[in-house]
Amino acid sequence: MKKVYGLWLGIIFLVAISAGFGAARSPAPIVLRCADVHAFGYPTIEGVRYLDQLVRKRTGGRIQIKIYPESSLGPEKSVVEMVKLGLLDMGRVSMTEVAEVDYRLGVLILPYLFENDDHKWNVLNGPVGKALLAGLSQYNLIGLCFQEAGYRSFYNSKRPIYRPEDLKGLKLRVQPSRIMAKLVESLGASPVPINYGEVYAALSAGVIDGAENNIPSYYTSGHYRVARYFSFDRHASIPEVLLFSKKAWMNLKEADRRIISNAAQESVDYQRRQWAQFEKDCYRKLEDAGCQFNEVDLEAFKAAVAPFYRDYREKYRGLIESIEKAR
Ligand code: GTR
């Protein structure tokens, strides 16, 4: 009898504890969910993890970021939609996807737009970059910061590319983006829009001959195993962007918003350093794996995209000139 009594007392005690009786309980933390197509260790995610550490420290753990890697919440297009609708708090995506929502951002994905990294970051950190991020607000998005994503080049399973003509007839995957599809078409190849997570299967099945991306993505996606020719044409340096849902943003206190946006700015330097190291490491591993790298006739590539560029010069009148001035 005594035993049964003790058991009941124990149960009542546990229930009381879990219901919070007798103890001052701090409110549950705000957990912001953030999607990424890459895996932990990739610099985009590491940038967001650094941001999470800063935010946790500065809010005493009240606000935290939980990352959902490897497209686990869906492809980038749906991530952007979910963040817009307020179904997801944050998304780290390529600028290419956001340019489908806000066409002005498309200027940042044009080929050979930036002379070098200094020029690019002058633009991104300067008035043009700030205005482009701020403009996202009308689409229910908050652009927290840009991230580095190196230079994109073509790679394929058939042959090295030295001149634009070498691309003729190749079926090349592009990000689901009108600008990227047009660019590839203007170079004589056939663009095939496919979500990032499905490219490896398409390459292995021979549905496409190649794709275009930066060195870290070429390595971590495993595409190098099936498309061994990587030709450094460096046609675009498309920044990544960290998006926050405007709906979730408005639910935060003003002081917390300031903490998050300041920390996001601070995370950029860290992310850029991570990128530089990661890119080198990936390149070494790709060389060890026997990938074939080659430089291209850059002048021929620049000449080949000139007509394409002229069309967009009209579309992005004013913006392109401001970007050129920031050299
Ligand atoms: C990567 C980028 C991803 C994704 C991918 C792609 O470089 O980090 O966000 O956009 O390219 O080509 O789909």
* CA of residue 154 to ligand 1 center, whole Å: 14
Whether residues 74 and 124 fall in one domain: yes
pLDDT in tens, 203-262: 999 999 999 999 999 999 999 999 999 999 999 999 999 999 999 999 999 999 999 999
pLDDT of residue 26: 80
Q: What is the pLDDT of residue 33?
A: 98
SS (H, E, C) 191-251: EEECCHHHHHHHHHCCCCCEEEECHHHHHHCCHHHCCCEEEEEEEECCCEEEEEEHHHHHC
- How many helices, marked H, and strands, marked E, lie in the chain? 13, 11
Residue 42 CA: nearest ligand 1 atom is: 8
Q: Classify burial at 58, counting beta carbons within 10 Å of its beta carbon; exposed 0-12, middle 13-18, buried 19 or more.
A: middle
Residues having CB within 6 Å of any atom of ligand 1: 37, 44, 76, 93-94, 149, 175, 196, 213-214, 217, 240
Q: What b/e sequence results for 129-165 when a residue is b if at least 16 CB atoms lie within 10 Å of its CB, and e otherwise?
A: beebbeebeebbbbbbbbbbbbbbbbbbbeebbeebe
Q: Distance from the CA of 153 to the center of ligand 1, in angstroms? A: 12
- Whether 1 is in a domain gets the answer no
> Are 131 and 102 part of one and the same domain?
yes
* 175 and 244 share one domain: no
Cα separation, 23 vs 29, whole angstroms: 17
With a pLDDT cut of 90, the percent of the chain lying above it is 90
Q: Ligand 1, closest atom to CA 173?
A: 12
Structural domain boundaries, residue 88: 29-148+238-283
10 assigned to some structural domain: no
Residues 132, 52: one domain? yes
> Residue 231 and residue 34: Cα distance in Å, rounded?
33
Q: 19 lies in a domain?
A: no
The answer to the question of residue 7 being in a domain is no
Residue nearest to atom 1 of ligand 1 (CA): 217
Name the closest-CA residue to atom 2, ligand 1: 94
Tell me the pLDDT band of 109, cut-offs 50, 70 and 90: very high
Number of domains in the chain: 2
Q: Are 64 and 56 in contact, with CB atoms under 8 Å apart?
A: yes
Instruction: Tell which one of 34, 94, 241 to mutate to probe ligand 1, the residue whose CB is within 8 A of the most ligand atoms.
Output: 94
| pLDDT tops 80 at residue 10 | no
pLDDT, the chain, mean: 93
Residue listed under structure tokens 């008035």: 127
What is the domain-level CATH number for residue 261?
A: 3.40.190.170
The answer to whether residues 219 and 293 belong to one domain is: yes
Residues 69 and 140 in one domain: yes
Residue to mutate (ligand 1; options 79, 105, 240; most atoms within 8 A of CB): 240
